[in-house]
Amino acid sequence: MTKFKNITFIIALVALAACGHDKGDRAISGAGIGAAAGGIGAAVIGADPVTGAAVGAAVGGVAGATTDEDDVDLGDPVWK
């Protein structure tokens, strides 16, 4: 259960780091950041990195789409 708490904590922190101004940009960047954090976090704790990346992408995408740029703003996404 401790492994699950660790990965959840890592994903939650990184999922909030979405960037962009509109909901679509924030969802895409949140999903990318969440996937990276989930995959790395899962590998670190010995879980399946693919599953961790999938969960991280889902959490990050939702967090990016539901937060406002006033909540978390890391600037313009790299694709703009």
pLDDT, position 18: 55
Average pLDDT rounded to a whole number, residues 40-66: 90
Mean pLDDT of 49-64: 92
pLDDT at residue 75 in the model = 62
pLDDT band at 74 (very low <50, low <70, confident <90, very high): low
Q: How confident is the model at residue 26 (pLDDT cuts 50, 70, 90)?
A: confident
String of DSSP letters for 27-69: HHHHHHHHHHHHHHHHHHHTS-HHHHHHHHHHHHHHHHHHS-T
Mean pLDDT of the chain: 78
